[in-house]
Structure 1
């Protein structure tokens, strides 16, 4: 209830590492967010300071991120901000993590093709039944591009 929720817009800085745990699968990656400022003197945009966050994503979101995201890709990440302090080698260090609730490609910087995953009903899985999707996933479908209208 009193979580600090943030939305970050930036780039994937490291490969997404995915591993299975007792609590479910978890993905982890570093995320870079660089402030951009308009420089009036030069009349151009310039990069400001870059902040790095460690993003954790659990269960289905983690698996989907591991299958969908590569280093350098622009993302939006929405999640719970977690700040922690640790002492390593006699030095106190501060780490800023985000436990992702949702994430997706930044479509202001490119295009993406969404593919829905099919999950089985819990009771059907327990009985060992195979589930046939009502509408099959179409990996052969090319993303559509929009033409400029004159």
Structure 2
């Protein structure tokens, strides 16, 4: 299909509005995307023009976005760009919407803690992961086998991988 896919990096400008519709959950919020450029005369970074997009999310993405996003959060949104022009009361206006496929916090500007939704598809707000965290560290020397953690080093509820 010939759709215009975009990736926009900006800040959440309005609190997400969540609705339960007959077709499933839906959420929308405004995204502010401000360009930045290096001002050679002043020798500083300067904010340029700000574009505002209405971001639409559906189904599970809507539920998770409404539970996860707040005003001012730095986010990255990927989705289909839809530009509409209309004439109302003799005035012409144009709006740019993004039908979101993916939304995430911008980790270049802060940290975030990911939590999987539960079996019902609802976001979880508390609790520990159902599986133990894998051992990500690579041994310093490949000739020495990695020693398993002792019970005193093991976190509660964590399985020891050998």
State TM-score, norm by structure 2. Answer: 0.74
Deviations 1:69-93 (A, max 9, x none): 0001100000000011122222111
Alignment of 1:41-120 (within 5 A): 41-120=41-120
Provide structure 1 residue ranges, at least 5 long, that are not aligned to the other structure.
122-135, 140-150
* Aligned residue number for residue 12 of structure 1: 12
Q: Superposition RMSD on alpha carbons, in Å?
A: 1.7
Deviation at 1:13, TM superposition (A): 0.4
Query: What is the total number of aligned residue pairs between the two structures?
Result: 125
SS for the counterpart of 1:46 is strand
- Segments of 4+ in structure 1 off by > 6 A? none
The higher radius of gyration belongs to 2
Q: Distance in 2 between matches of 1:67 and 1:89?
A: 37
Counterpart position of 2:128: 138
In 2, the alpha carbon distance for the partners of 1:120 and 1:91 equals: 46
Structure 2: runs of 5+ lacking an equivalent: 130-162
SS in 2 for 1:25: strand
CA distance in 2 between partners of 1:30 and 1:120 (Å)? 28
Give 1 or 2: higher helix fraction.
Answer: 1
TM-score relative to the length of structure 1: 0.79
